[in-house]
Amino acid sequence: MIKLVVSSGNQHKIQEIKEILRELPIDIVSKNDVGFKDFEVVEDKSTLEGNAIKKAVELSKKVEGLVVADDTGLFVDALNGAPGVFSSRYAGENVTYEDNNKKLLKELENIPINKRSAKFKTIIAIAKNGEIIKTIEGECKGRIANTKSGSSGFGYDPLFIVDEYNKTFAELGDEIKNKISHRANALIKLKGELTVLLGENTNEDHCSK
């Protein structure tokens, strides 16, 4: 069975990936499961793509099988795409989600709700033996609320109003969020890519027999 190593130790992410890919004959493990718990790369690229590729390629030089890595950011139109690639450290290094949310509200203080459009974007990179195979993109469109609403989720969830539902991710809850989010959209596309890759591997096996 093909092994898929997720370049993350975040159990929540691993579970989400396992859930969406459950029908595929793939053994999904985290970097911790293959002895690379402390493996980290410096996320110093200027794009989500750059960071996702770096994370996937560097780990794939060390482990067998396919490696996937993701990077996510919130892009606010009125702020020329900020916080973008800096979403986790918008208010500075070692800050909390609350600090980042406060900074976002401050930056948008005088911007009316109809000009607060934004999107979450996730990039997933697939690599093998130190080479990038593919990058995949998932998006979710919405706008930034004037105040926080809802209690579920994490990060910018209490401020991000999803266009389709007119509610924040934090109000919608994980069950709906995990069906429509930027990450879910990227993972659904990943499932399609992996299905193709598995087919190619099976064909190669047949041809070599």
Which listed residue (5, 156, 161, 187) binds ligand IMP by CB under 6 A?
156
**Pattern 107-146, ligand IMP, x by CB under 6 A:** ----------------------------------------
How far CA 80 is from CA of 91, 92, 117, 118, 138, in Å, comes to: 17, 18, 11, 10, 20
Per CB under 6 A, 171 contacts ligand IMP: no
Task: Please say which residue, 4 or 162, places its beta carbon nearer to ligand IMP.
Answer: 162
- Please tell me the chain's helix, strand, coil percentages from 3-state DSSP, rounded to the nearest 5: 40, 25, 35
DSSP state of 83: E
CA distance 161 to 118: 9
Per CB under 6 A, 155 contacts ligand IMP: yes
What's at 96, amino acid-wise? Answer: T
71 is catalytic: yes
Which listed residue (32, 88, 152, 178) binds ligand IMP by CB under 6 A?
88
Cα-atom radius of gyration of the chain, to the nearest Å?
18
How far CA 2 is from CA of 5, 27, 39, in Å, comes to: 10, 6, 22
Smallest gap, in angstroms, from Cβ of residue 40 to ligand IMP? 12
Per CB under 6 A, 60 contacts ligand IMP: no
Which listed residue (71, 82, 91, 118) binds ligand IMP by CB under 6 A?
71
